[in-house]
C-alpha cells in the first residue's frame, strides 16, 4: 500500500491524539454550585471545541450550523445510559453564510452504498480509491475528480474543495429534479374582517410589500397573488392590461372554487403597476366593514387550489378565531383558569390535513397571528408546522395603541420578505454506522424514516434530532454526521447544501462529561419537553427536566470518588445546566402558577420547536449589560469604529442599581432600563432628555447625538444588532413603565410568587440527589 504515506487514515489521525487523561481538561474542573454561585462568565460562552487533532479541528463544521449535545460520543448505548445525558444534534442548515464554497461539477461524488457525499473526513486509500467515513465502503474516485479546479492541477483529489470544506454547496444536475425547478411564487392571504380593520395591520403589511416588492427573492418568472376574506373569499384579477385590479367574490364558502383559471397568480414584473395599485388600495377598501366573521378555512382551501400547480409560499394574516365554514373553532380558554395547562394540542385535524396536502404540492403556509383575544394558536399553528412554514405572533396587536408590536411587525416583515428562501426542498441526515436517528423536531413533514420534506426552507429555521447508539462503535475512534439539504433557489437553480461534522468516540464516563455541550443539551431537552407537555402533561415535562439534571449530576458525582458527597458538584462543562433548566421553567411554555394566556404558552412552544440554538438561548437566558459607564477599555475595533465590551451581568434584580442604566438583549427586543437615580449626564447625552422625570413612557429609539457617551452606546447597540437576522425593537423603560413587568420576568435568577430563585433551585436539586 505504497500510496498511503501522504494520506493519513482516520485511525492514524486519532492515534496521534494520544491518551487524553494526562492532564485534567478545564471542562472537568469540579464546581461546587451552591458555594460558587457566580457561574456565569463575563463573556458569552462559546461552543465547546471537539477534542480532535489540529487538522480535523480546522476542517470541522462550524457549531453555528451543526452542534451535538455530546462532543465526545460514548462508544456504547450502555455508556450513554450511564451518563444520563441526551444524545442529539442541533441544526441550522440554511443559515446566512458569508463564506460558502459553491461547486459546479458534472459528477457529484457520493458513496455507492450509503449515498454519503464525499467530505473532509473520508480517507483516500490511494489516488484512485476513497473510503466512506459513514459506512466504510471503498469507492472509486471518478476521473473528473482527479482534476482540481482551484489549483488547476491533476492527481490531487484530496485537495479538491469538497474535501477541504465541511460546508459546501453543489449546483445539482437534472438527476436531482423530479420536475423542472419551480419559479418563486408568493400568495398573500389577508383577514379583512371588522376585527382586522380595527387592528390596522393591513397598512403596515401593504407598505412593507410596496417597499420591498423589488427585493422579493426571485427572477423574471416570479409570480404573486392576493386573497382577502371575511365571511366570503375575495380574489383579485391582476391580468396585465386591465386598467385596475378586479375583485372577484366567492360566497359559496362550503365549496370554495377559483373564479377564473388564471390571472389570480400573475408575473410580478408584467403586472407590477396593478400590484402596486392593489397594495395602495387594500388598506382603505374595507374601512367601513360590518363583517365580523372569519372564514379562514375556506380561504386556505382556495389558497391550496391556487398554489397546487406550482408550489410556493402562502403568507396568512389572521386576527381572530375562525368562525365560519370548515376549520371553524370555538374558544377553549377559560379566562379564570389562566394557569391551566390543558388544550396545548389542536381542537381539529383540519389544519394539519390541509398542511399535509400543501406539503404534497410543495407549498408552505406561514402564519402571522395578530390577535387581541384567544385565537386557538394550538390549532392554527398546525398549518405551518406540517408544511415547513413559520409562525409569527403579535398578541394585543394594534397599530396605534401598541407601538412595540407595530414596530416589531414592520421589522419582522422586512426580514421575512427579503431573506433567502429555498423551494421544494428535502433534507436528510446521515450518521456513522452504529448510530441511528429516532426523533425529529422542527417544522416539516417526515416523508420516510430519515427524509424530511420542506416545501420551503428559510435561513431562520432550526431543527433538532435525537439519536441512539444501536451497535457498539468499538471499531472506530471517530464518528461523523452529515446533513444534506436539496432545494430550488429563488433563481430556479437546484442546489444541495452539505454540512459534515466529525467527533471523537470515548470509552470512559468521565470523558463523556468532559465533552458535554450544555447549550445544545438544554435546547434538545426543551424540544423533548414540548412534546411531553402536549402528549402527557406540563407537570410531567417539568418533572422530566428536573430529573435530567438530578440524574446526570448524581451519575457524575458517583464517578468522581474524591468529591464531598453532601455538596452539589457539577463538572465545569455542566455548571450552567441547572441555571438553564430554571430559566426554561420560567418561560411562558413551561411556567405554572403564573397567569399565562394559552396562545402565549403555545407560541413559546412553537418557537422552541423551530428556532436555531443561538436564538433559543437568547430567549432562554438573555444578555444583560450595564451601559451607563461604557469605556474603551477592552473595546474591539469593527470597520473603523470602536465597540465597547461591557461584561455580562447575572439575570438578577440585585445587579440593577438605581444609579445605573442597563441593556437587556432578548434577541428580538432590546430593553433599556433606566434607574431612578441614573446620572443626568447619561440621560441627557444618550437619551436626549434633561433628567429622569422628563423621559417619556414609550421611548423607542436613541437620538444620534454628537458626544462620546452617545457614540459608545449606539456603537455597542449596532454591534449587537449586526449578529442578528432581524433588527430588534428597542424600548426604554423606567420604574413606572407598563412594560417593566415584561422586563423583570427575564431576570430568571430571582424568586417569584410561583417559582424558585436560582439558589433555592440548587438546594432543591441537592435534596433530590441526596435523598
CATH 1.10.3720.10 fits 28-47+517-621+753-770, yes or no: no
- Nearest to 197, CA basis, from 273, 268, 285, 137: 285
Topology given in CATH for the domain delimited by 102-178+422-510:
Immunoglobulin-like (2.60.40)
The Cα–Cα gap between 393 and 397 comes to 9
Query: Could you tell me where in the chain the CATH 2.60.40.1670 domains are found?
Result: 102-178+422-510
The Cα–Cα gap between 387 and 358 comes to 6
Query: Could you tell me where in the chain the CATH 1.20.120.730 domains are found?
Result: 28-47+517-621+753-770
Q: Outline where DSSP puts E strands in 541-679.
A: 569-571, 623-626, 636-638, 641-643, 648-649, 661-665, 669-674
* Alpha helices by DSSP H, 611-757: 613-620, 680-682, 708-722, 740-744
Task: For residue 63, list its beta bridge partners.
Answer: none
Coil vs helix vs strand at 741:
helix
User: What distances in angstroms separate CA 374 from CA 70, 371, 380, 399, 545, one per listed residue?
Assistant: 40, 7, 12, 19, 29
Contact 63, 617 (CB under 8 A): no
The Cα–Cα gap between 212 and 269 comes to 13
How high is the mean pLDDT in each 10-residue block of the chain (771 residues)?
36 38 73 78 84 95 97 98 98 95 92 97 93 96 86 84 96 87 97 96 98 97 98 96 95 94 93 97 95 97 97 98 96 72 90 97 98 95 97 96 95 97 97 95 89 96 97 96 97 97 97 96 98 94 97 91 76 94 96 90 97 95 95 90 93 92 95 95 97 92 95 95 89 90 92 91 92 72
Query: Could you tell me where in the chain the CATH 3.40.50.410 domains are found?
Result: 185-332+345-418
Centre a 10 Å sphere on the Cβ of residue 335 and count the other Cβ atoms it contains. 11
How many C-alpha atoms does 644 have within 13 Å on its Cβ side?
22
As a CATH number, domain 185-332+345-418 is 3.40.50.410
Give the pLDDT confidence score for residue 38 in this predicted structure. Answer: 67
Those residues whose C-beta lies under 8 Å from the C-beta of residue 513, and which sit 6 or more positions away, are: 27, 28, 83, 85, 556, 559, 571, 573, 574
* Alpha helices by DSSP H, 169-271: 194-199, 201-212
Query: Could you tell me where in the chain the CATH 3.40.20.10 domains are found?
Result: 622-746
Centre a 10 Å sphere on the Cβ of residue 378 and count the other Cβ atoms it contains. 23
Query: In CATH, what is the architecture of 622-746?
Result: 3-Layer(aba) Sandwich (3.40)
Coil vs helix vs strand at 597:
coil
The Cα–Cα gap between 218 and 450 comes to 30
Give the pLDDT confidence score for residue 20 in this predicted structure. Answer: 42
The Cα–Cα gap between 570 and 516 comes to 12
3-state SS string for 486-538: EEECCCCCEEEEEEEEEEEEECCHHHHHHCECHHHHHHHHHHHHHHHHHHCCH
Give the pLDDT confidence score for residue 11 in this predicted structure. Answer: 42
Model pTM score? 0.94
Residue 269 exposed, middle or buried by CB count within 10 Å (0-12, 13-18, 19+)? middle
Beta-strand relationship, 147-148 and 138-140: unpaired
The Cα–Cα gap between 657 and 663 comes to 13
Q: Outline where DSSP puts E strands in 572-721.
A: 623-626, 636-638, 641-643, 648-649, 661-665, 669-674
Amino acid at each position: 500500500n505504497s500510496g498511503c504515506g501522504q494520506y493519513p487514515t482516520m485511525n492514524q489521525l486519532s492515534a496521534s491524539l494520544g491518551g487524553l487523561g494526562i492532564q485534567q481538561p478545564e471542562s472537568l474542573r469540579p464546581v461546587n454550585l451552591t458555594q460558587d454561585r457566580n457561574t456565569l462568565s463575563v463573556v458569552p460562552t462559546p461552543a465547546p471545541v471537539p477534542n480532535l487533532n489540529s487538522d480535523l479541528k480546522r476542517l470541522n463544521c462550524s457549531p453555528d450550523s451543526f452542534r451535538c449535545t455530546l462532543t465526545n460520543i460514548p462508544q456504547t448505548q450502555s455508556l450513554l445510559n450511564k451518563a444520563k445525558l441526551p444524545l442529539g444534534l442541533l441544526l441550522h442548515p440554511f443559515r446566512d453564510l458569508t463564506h460558502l464554497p459553491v461547486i459546479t461539477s458534472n459528477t457529484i461524488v457520493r458513496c455507492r452504498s450509503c449515498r454519503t457525499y464525499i467530505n473532509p473526513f473520508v480517507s483516500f486509500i490511494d489516488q484512485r480509491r476513497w473510503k466512506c467515513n459513514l459506512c466504510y465502503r471503498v469507492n472509486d474516485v471518478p476521473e473528473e475528480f482527479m482534476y482540481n479546479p482551484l489549483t488547476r492541477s491533476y492527481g490531487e483529489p484530496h485537495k479538491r474543495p469538497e474535501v477541504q470544506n465541511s460546508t459546501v454547496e453543489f449546483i445539482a444536475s437534472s438527476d436531482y429534479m423530479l420536475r423542472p425547478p419551480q419559479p418563486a411564487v408568493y400568495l398573500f392571504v389577508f383577514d379583512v374582517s371588522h376585527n382586522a380593520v380595527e387592528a390596522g395591520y393591513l397598512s403596515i403589511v401593504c407598505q412593507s410589500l410596496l417597499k420591498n416588492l423589488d427585493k422579493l427573492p426571485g427572477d423574471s418568472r416570479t409570480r404573486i397573488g392576493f386573497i382577502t376574506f371575511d365571511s366570503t373569499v375575495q380574489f383579485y384579477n391582476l391580468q396585465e392590461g386591465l386598467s385596475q385590479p378586479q375583485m372577484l367574490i366567492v360566497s359559496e364558502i362550503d365549496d370554495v372554487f377559483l373564479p377564473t383559471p388564471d390571472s389570480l397568480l400573475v408575473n410580478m414584473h408584467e403586472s407590477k403597476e396593478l400590484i402596486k395599485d392593489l397594495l395602495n388600495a387594500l388598506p382603505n377598501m374595507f374601512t367601513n366593514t360590518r363583517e365580523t366573521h372569519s372564514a379562514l378555512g375556506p380561504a386556505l382551501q382556495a389558497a391550496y387550489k391556487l398554489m397546487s400547480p406550482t408550489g410556493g409560499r402562502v403568507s396568512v394574516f389572521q386576527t381572530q378565531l375562525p368562525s365560519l365554514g370548515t376549520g371553524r373553532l370555538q374558544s377553549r380558554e377559560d379566562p379564570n383558569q389562566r394557569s391551566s395547562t390543558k388544550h396545548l394540542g389542536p381542537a381539529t385535524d383540519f389544519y394539519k390535513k390541509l398542511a399535509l396536502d400543501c406539503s404534497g404540492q410543495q407549498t408552505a403556509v406561514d402564519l402571522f397571528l395578530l390577535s387581541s383575544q384567544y385565537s386557538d394558536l394550538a390549532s392554527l399553528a398546525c398549518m405551518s408546522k406540517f408544511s415547513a412554514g413559520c409562525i409569527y405572533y403579535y398578541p394585543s396587536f394594534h397599530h396605534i395603541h401598541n407601538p412595540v408590536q407595530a414596530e416589531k411587525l414592520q421589522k419582522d416583515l422586512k426580514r421575512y420578505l427579503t431573506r433567502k428562501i429555498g423551494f421544494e426542498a428535502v433534507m436528510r441526515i446521515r450518521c456513522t454506522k452504529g448510530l441511528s436517528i429516532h426523533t425529529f423536531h422542527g417544522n416539516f413533514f417526515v416523508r420516510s424514516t430519515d427524509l424530511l420534506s420542506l416545501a420551503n426552507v428559510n435561513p431562520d429555521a432550526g431543527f433538532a434530532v435525537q439519536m441512539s447508539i444501536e451497535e457498539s462503535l468499538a471499531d472506530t475512534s471517530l464518528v461523523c454526521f452529515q446533513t444534506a439539504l436539496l432545494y430550488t433557489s429563488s433563481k430556479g437553480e437546484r442546489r444541495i447544501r452539505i454540512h459534515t461534522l466529525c467527533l471523537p468516540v470515548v470509552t470512559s464516563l468521565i470523558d463523556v462529561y468532559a465533552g458535554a455541550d450544555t447549550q445544545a443539551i438544554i435546547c434538545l431537552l426543551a424540544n423533548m419537553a414540548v412534546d411531553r407537555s402536549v402528549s402527557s402533561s406540563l407537570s410531567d415535562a417539568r418533572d422530566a427536566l428536573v430529573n435530567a439534571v438530578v440524574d446526570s449530576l448524581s451519575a457524575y458525582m458517583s464517578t468522581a470518588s474524591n468529591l464531598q458527597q453532601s455538596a452539589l458538584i457539577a463538572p465545569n462543562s455542566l455548571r450552567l445546566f441547572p441555571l438553564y433548566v430554571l430559566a426554561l421553567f420560567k418561560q411562558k411554555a413551561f411556567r405554572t402558577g403564573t397567569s399565562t394566556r394559552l396562545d402565549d404558552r403555545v407560541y413559546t412552544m412553537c418557537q422552541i420547536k423551530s428556532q436555531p440554538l443561538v436564538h433559543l438561548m437568547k430567549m432562554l437566558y438573555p444578555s444583560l449589560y450595564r451601559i451607563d459607564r461604557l469605556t474603551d477599555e477592552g473595546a474591539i475595533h469593527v470597520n473603523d469604529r470602536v465597540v465597547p465590551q461591557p461584561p455580562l451581568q447575572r439575570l438578577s434584580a440585585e445587579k440593577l442599581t438605581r444609579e445605573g442604566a442597563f441593556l437587556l438583549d432578548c434577541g428580538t427586543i432590546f430593553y433599556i432600563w433606566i434607574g431612578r437615580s441614573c446620572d443626568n449626564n447619561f440621560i441627557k447625552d444618550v437619551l436626549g432628555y434633561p433628567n429622569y422625570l422628563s423621559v417619556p413612557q414609550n421611548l423607542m429609539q436613541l437620538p444620534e447625538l454628537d458626544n462620546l457617551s452617545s457614540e459608545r452606546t449606539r456603537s455597542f447597540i449596532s454591534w449587537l444588532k449586526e449578529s442578528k437576522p432581524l433588527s430588534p425593537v428597542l424600548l426604554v423603560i423606567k420604574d413606572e413603565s407598563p412594560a417593566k413587568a415584561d422586563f423583570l420576568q427575564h431576570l430568571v435568577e430571582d424568586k417569584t410568587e410561583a417559582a424558585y430563585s436560582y439558589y433555592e433551585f440548587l438546594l432543591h436539586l441537592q435534596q433530590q440527589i441526596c435523598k
